[in-house]
Amino acid sequence: MKNKTAYFAGGCFWGVQYLFQKTKGTTKTSVGYCGGNTENPTYEDICTGSTAHTETVKIEYDNTLTDYETLVKFFFEIHDPTQVNRQGPDVGTQYRSAIFYQTEEEKTIAQSVIKILEEKGFAVVTELVPFEKFWEAESYHQDYYFRKGQVPYCHIRKKIF
């Protein structure tokens, strides 16, 4: 299979999407919500903290150009996986760090990368959650930084691997 998807939550989805859009092998991205208990949530809904959703980026990628492990490592390099329910100035459960895995292989890969990080001294709090549903966010959230001609303020790549 050439085209695959991955789902990552690492704080504000604008910055995560922006950086993944620039990675080799990424063919498409969209922002939305995963991990919650509300059908078809809105941004306003998830900001209340009552839906359990987190801001998530759906990455579609060509696995002849990149692989899941490379994407997981990149994900950990563009956010702080040691912060609980926050990322920089953004605070709330909707900003928690999570990987929504679709297969046991993806879960195993994520666990092995987390183990490497822990061996390097990182106290990783990233949740590994079975993927259930991705609810696409409102159109004004899609491609936010590209549309605004700006760059992320709280997502910067820090080489770890």
Give the pLDDT confidence of 84-142 residue by residue, as tens digits.
999 988 999 999 999 999 999 999 999 999 999 999 999 999 999 999 999 999 999 99
Report, as an integer, the average pLDDT of 78-84.
Answer: 96
pLDDT for position 98: 98
d(CA 63, CA 44) in angstroms, rounded, equals: 35
d(CA 66, CA 3) in angstroms, rounded, equals: 10
12: annotated active-site residue: yes
How is the chain split into domains, by residue range?
3-148
User: What is the third-level CATH fold of 3-148?
Assistant: Peptide Methionine Sulfoxide Reductase; Chain A (3.30.1060)
The pLDDT > 70 percentage for the chain reads: 99
List the catalytic residue out of 12, 34, 47, 154: 12
The pLDDT > 90 percentage for the chain reads: 89
